[in-house]
Amino acid sequence: MRGLFILGVSILMLGGCTPSDSKNENTRTGNNSDGHKCIGSAGFSWCAKTNKCERPWELAKKEKFEKSAEAFKDFCGN
C-alpha cells in the first residue's frame, strides 16, 4: 500500500516535468523585450530622458508627475 502511494506521488511530480511547447515559452513574464531591451511584461518602458528602462508608476512617483501613460510619454520625450 505504501509503495502505491509513493508511486502515485512520483507520477504526479513527474507530470510537471513535461517539456513546454514553444507557444508557452513566448508568453512567459520576462520573455519579451523592446528595441531597448526593456521587458514590457515586467512593467518596464523606455524613457529617453533618463536613458534607461523605467516602470512608469515608479518614475511618476519619483519625479512627481501624474501616473498616466500620457504623462510618462511627455516626461520621457518618447
Is residue 59 scored above 90 in pLDDT?
Answer: yes
Confidence label for 64 from pLDDT (cuts 50, 70 and 90): very high
Is residue 75 scored above 70 in pLDDT?
Answer: yes
Dihedral Cα 72, 78, 35, 30, nearest 10 deg: 0
Q: Express each pLDDT in 5-26 by its tens digit.
A: 676 666 666 666 555 544 555 5
d(CA 34, CA 20): 24
Please state, for a pLDDT cut of 90, what percent of the chain lies above it: 54
Taking CA 24 as the corner, what is the angle to CA 53 and CA 35, rounded to the nearest 5 degrees?
Answer: 25
Domain extent listing, the chain: 33-78
